[in-house]
Structure 1
Amino acid sequence: MKRYQIPTLFLCIVSFAGYAQTENIEDISRALAQQQLEAYNKRNIDEFLIPYSDSIKVYTYPNELRYQGKETMRKRYAGFFERTPDLHCEVVSRTVYGNVVIDKEALTGIGKDKSKIREALAIYTIEYGKISEVRFVRKPKQ
């Protein structure tokens, strides 16, 4: 009987350790997504780039690479932030699953009608404490 008690206890400890590790990863993932969102809304390019890895890859979902690298991201977003003083992004819903964060977003301050709400869906993948990939899902044209 003792023979089975030790493995059972071991499995419980391993399961708990795995759960605790998942929670930590989810906390980190959530924090990085939130950090970049807050800097985005301030249109602060330096703060915005902090959570991203130097080799960040940005895709149109599922796998169309749009660009790669933090310096390329800096060039693209710096101008965008300058041209959109009324830019604001609000997270409508956020799902965190391990190292992946999925944000449904509502954006205003873009285009000719700055009050028009535009929806976006962003999928962030976190690796080694940084956002390593972003996939933007486009709505099908109707």
Structure 2
Amino acid sequence: MTTDRKGAMSPEEIVAGQLAAYNRRDLEEFLGYYVEDVPVFGFPSGNELADRSGPAFRGRYERLFADSPGLHAELLSRAVHGNVVIDHERVSGFRDDDTARFAVAIYQVGPERIEKVWFVD
């Protein structure tokens, strides 16, 4: 993600960019789409997931990308409402496990980056 373009990107473009960086396992680009110390919550509980939030966010994805060379998230559907983007994904290649998992992520996007994330429990 280029720094001079971030502010001109829509919430949907920001979320799409982080998904593309995730699929390339490009940690620095992926992290560039999030505010520093992004909070991550469970939905509907609303509890912050300490092992996924803030400082733990970088480490979690650094390990995941290193341990999962076949990691890939396929976008099944996306809903956009203002600055909220909801993705339904089919994710495969976790640590060389071919079993696909389904994930729903809700992103609250600020002017330049993703500011909060909820993962559906």
2:20 corresponds, among 38, 62, 68, to: 38
The offset of 1:55, in angstroms, is 3.2
Larger Rg: 1
One-letter code of the match for 2:17?
Q
Q: Does 1:87 pair with 2:71?
A: yes
**Contact persistence 2:67–2:95 (CA under 8 A):** no
Q: Percent identity?
A: 38
Q: Does 1:127 pair with 2:110?
A: yes
The offset of 1:42, in angstroms, is 0.7
- For residues 11 and 78 of structure 2, the distance between their equivalents in structure 1, rounded to whole angstroms, comes to 11
Q: Does 1:136 pair with 2:115?
A: no
The offset of 1:73, in angstroms, is 1.1
Q: Specify the alignment match of 1:28 in structure 2.
A: 10
Gaps of 5+ in 2: 1-8
The root-mean-square deviation of aligned C-alpha atoms, in Å, is 1.5
Q: Which deviates more from structure 2 when the two are superposed, residues 71-80 or residues 85-94?
A: 71-80
TM (norm. structure 1) is: 0.72
Q: Specify the alignment match of 1:74 in structure 2.
A: 58
Aligned residues: 110
- For residues 127 and 101 of structure 1, the distance between their equivalents in structure 2, rounded to whole angstroms, comes to 11
Q: Specify the alignment match of 1:16 in structure 2.
A: none
TM (norm. structure 2) is: 0.84
Gaps of 5+ in 1: 1-26
